[in-house]
Amino acid sequence: MTVKILGGVARGFPLSLPRSDSTRPTSVLIKRKLFDWRQDLGGHIFIDLCAGSGAMGFEALSRGAEKVVLVDAEKGPFLTMKKNRDDLVRAFRFDEKTIQVSQSDAKKFLEREISYFGEDSILFFDPPYEDHKLYLEGLAILKAKGFSGELWLETDRLKGPPRDQITQAFHSIIKIVEQGDHFVVVGKLL
């Protein structure tokens, strides 16, 4: 199974998906709404945490992000992200140094690395919906580390943490994108 990049220089390029029940791609409608709203990502670093195939990060790369960082703890998604990176580098001659692929636990990545990313960063955080603890611990780490970039947090009304608990963590909300029970809160924590 594949998903396609929706816009930018790699528009229509198919990306492989991991063979795993533990990952689920962001819906095409949510992805389209987010990237139609924020079409040009020039000058931004895009971090795709709990990335699965890396589709959100590769979409950002196609739309001009200066660097993408793709992180997933599981081996299957990590190998899929590497394959997708290699395929995109071959097809579009992206500089491989602008695409960082990492197999790491989300909390460990946030604790070790998030301090290196500033206001020019966009963090797309999409944990498994049922892992309420990871959502809340991730938000706490981001606040404690003083993450000043933009956070795009995807969750689900039925399976994820209560919506109020998520939205109250934000200092300011820029946008909420919804489709069915899924939604992404875009905003700043500080």
Q: So what's the pLDDT on residue 25?
A: 87
Which domains does the chain carry?
Answer: 2-188 (3.40.50.150)
pLDDT of residue 1: 67
Instruction: Tell me which residues of the chain have a pLDDT lower than 50.
Output: none
Predicted confidence at residue 140, as pLDDT, reads 97
Answer yes or no: are the C-beta atoms of 160 and 166 closer than 8 Å.
yes
State the Cα–Cα distance between residues 44 and 58, nearest whole angstrom. 13
Structure confidence at residue 39 (pLDDT) = 87
